[in-house]
Amino acid sequence: MKIVHTKQALESSLEGVRANGRKIALVPTMGALHAGHLSLIQEAQQIADLVVCSIFVNPTQFNDPKDLEKYPRPVENDLQLLQQAACDVVFMPTVEEMYPKNDSPWHIDLGDLDQIWEGEKRPGHFQGVTQVVYKLFKLVLPDVACFGQKDFQQVMVIQRLIDLKELPVKIHICPTIRSEEGLALSSRNVRLSAAGKQKALVLFRTLSYLKKHFTTKSPLSLKEEGLQLLQDEQEVEVEYLAICESRTLAEAKQIDPDKKYVALLVAWIEGVRLIDNMILN
């Protein structure tokens, strides 16, 4: 496994690969890796000849400087996990490397995608995400980039970036990795007590219920029933639950059989914000 810290070192480590026409996959991360991230590496290995994993805690996607400060950075453990996963190249740049002083300002038209759901709750977040992902795409020039379904809205945002900038990158969406009981794996889960983790299973139960009854009930009545299921579990504070058309993430009033739909859910348990979703059809 090769570990590089500069754009120059990254480019020189990939030169020969491109020259030989081998396929490159990129797995962008902010570190604090868990089994969900490692599943992205494994999927990338199935579809490409060489896997680049980036570890970079991107300052432009944090609304609150305290969150940026608190973000876990277990570098040694991350590198050990990537070594065990047989990752080929790890790119670990500094902030100065990614955002030089002469950097031009960034703004991209994401339409409603950065105004609704996560976009509304975290203003500017997706501008920061697209900014860093665009930089990584230009540096790595991957054929394919692997992202987890767990951050579904983020994946749609990156797809929009690819469309707008006409980038030759294919997105590969990898399924959400869950505990045996169904809790979506997240670096935030470590902040939950054992009881909190049990309580958090209501997210998976609710999403599974929506999927099961998706074809037989209207989106409105399904949403009401889903909210009731969440409310019945004590000490779960729902931020939002929505049944949306997959590409635009506009909330569905009725179902068009030609379109794909996803249920998005965010809830707070023990002061921890948990994000989950499920593809419904």
Q: Which residues are catalytic?
A: 37
CA-wise closest residue to 43 among 51, 54, 34: 51
Residue bearing tokens 């469309």? 163
Structure tokens at 74: 């277990």
Euclidean distance between CA atoms 186 and 197, whole angstroms: 11
β-bridge partners, 206: none
Is residue 37 within 8 A of residue 29, CB to CB? The reply is yes
CA–CA gap between residue 8 and residue 245 (Å, rounded): 41
- The continuous run of DSSP H or E covering 210 comes out as helix 194-212
With H, G, I as helix, E, B as strand and everything else as coil, classify residue 262: strand
